[in-house]
Amino acid sequence: MKVEATIGKNMQPLLRVENLVKRYAKRSLAGTPEEFLALDGVSFTVFPGTTLAVVGESGSGKSTLAACLACLESPTAGSIWFEGREIAKLEERASRQIRPQIQLIFQDPASSLNPRWSVMEVLAEPLILQRKFTREEIDRRISSLLERVGLSPDIVERSPTELSGGQRQRLAIARALALEPKLLILDEALSALDCSVQAQIANLLVELQGSLGMTYLFITHDLAMAAHLADEIAVMDRGRIVEQGQAQKILKQPEQETTRQLLAAVPRLTLAPPLLEQ
């Protein structure tokens, strides 16, 4: 059970999103161009050192939100403030500066790590791209990263395809931490793992948050997992946030229909009445 983190409410928010809109246009040579509204005016705030969970069904716009926040896509309208700086409408070069500070962890670790590369190359990539580290520094950082996520240092020569799902996700987390980001966005990062492994990685994340003071944006469709890890929960449906608030409150007193449905979808173990009576 996650201990409620003490949040200083007069601290500056790390991330503030206001009325974010993202429209996709499907253009074809003949016929009318179609439009798809992925985000329809999303607003929320995240304070440093806390975890916000964004919960919703597939198609609710969660992944689009993640892409916009990580500066991988540009929103159609609205603003995003990161550490007080507006980052929604940056041009490519400035975006490249900001991106290392907001890292994305993907759902499928098999596809987020290049299978043709070795673990060493995978971990070194972000450091090499920043172009300010020597070879020794990179080696040093790689060992410390592996240690931090609980991976043995002798996997550096192996290929990611030889690792288990849990190991791969640890590797992805290690890689994300390489550039010391301020915000970590986890896009369904635990959904592809086995139950027991999920718990392990969740614990790792909690521990990292405690020791590094990481801020998490945790995107999932699993409300129970969100409650376990997050301070606040925002429920998304069709591009909008329909309910937002403290994790425990959402769980005990859901207001919207969407939230109730998500709650009902969580598998629960109930004991049959005859057994209980004994």
Partner 1 sequence: MRYLLRRLGHALLLLAGVSVLTFLFTALAPGTYFDEMRMNPQIAPETIAALRAQYGLDKPLPLRYASWLSSLVHGEMGFSFAYNSPVAPLLLVRARNTLLLTITSTLLAWAIALPLGAWSAERMGRLPDRLLSWGTAMLLVIPDLALALGLLVLAVRSGWFPTGGMASVGFETLSPFNKLRDVALHMILPVTALVLSTLPLLFRHVRAAIADILDAPFLLAALGHGIPKRTLLYRYALPAAANPLISLFGFSIAMLLSGSLLIEVVMSWPGLGPLLLEAILARDLYVVIGGILFSTFFLVGGNLFADLLLYWADPRIRTESNAQ
Partner 2 sequence: MKMQRALTRWLLALGALHGTVVCAGFFAPYDPAVQDRKYPYLPPMGVHLVDTQGHLHARPFVYQPKLRLGLFDQYEEDITDPRPVKFLPSGDYYRLLGLLSCRRHLFGAKNARIYLLGTDAYGRDQLSRLLFGGQVSLVAGLLGAGITLFIGLCIGAVAGYFGGWRDTLLMRLAELFMALPWLYLLFAIRAFLPLAVSPLKAFFLIIVVIGTVGWARPARLVRGVVLSAKERDFVRAARGFGATNGYLLRRHILPETSSVLLTQAAILIPQYVLAEMTLSFLGLGVPEPVPSWGNLLSSLQQYSVLISHWWMYLPAVAIVPFFLGYLGLASSLHERGAAYKIESRILGNLT
Please count the other Cβ atoms lying within 10 Å of the Cβ belonging to residue 263: 18
- Please tell me the distance from the alpha carbon of residue 162 to that of residue 155, in angstroms, as a whole number: 9
**Roughly what angle, to the nearest 10 degrees, separates helices 195-212 and 165-177?**
20
- Please tell me the distance from the alpha carbon of residue 94 to that of residue 83, in angstroms, as a whole number: 15
In whole angstroms, how close is the CB of 160 to partner 2 at the nearest point? 9
- Please tell me the distance from the alpha carbon of residue 53 to that of residue 235, in angstroms, as a whole number: 8
By the rule CB under 8 A, 28 interacts with partner 1: yes
138 with 118: CB under 8 angstroms?
no
Site string for partner 2, 206-245 (x = CB under 8 A): ----------------------------------------
Using CB under 8 A, pick the residue from 19, 130, 246, 256 that binds partner 2.
130
42 with 65: CB under 8 angstroms?
yes
In whole angstroms, how close is the CB of 104 to partner 2 at the nearest point? 5
Q: Chain-centre distance of CA 18, in angstroms?
A: 19
**Roughly what angle, to the nearest 10 degrees, separates helices 135-149 and 119-130?**
120
Tokens 């592996």 sit at which residue? 146
Which partner in partner 1, partner 2, none is near 175 (CB below 5 to 8 A by kind)?
partner 2
Which partner in partner 1, partner 2, none is near 31 (CB below 5 to 8 A by kind)?
partner 1
In whole angstroms, how close is the CB of 199 to partner 2 at the nearest point? 17
By the rule CB under 8 A, 104 interacts with partner 2: yes
In whole angstroms, how close is the CB of 115 to partner 2 at the nearest point? 6
Which residues in this chain contact partner 2 in the complex, by CB under 8 A?
29, 67, 70, 72, 96-97, 99-100, 102-104, 106-108, 110-116, 125-126, 129-130, 161, 165, 172, 175, 179, 191-193
Residues that bind partner 1 (CB under 8 A): 28, 30-31
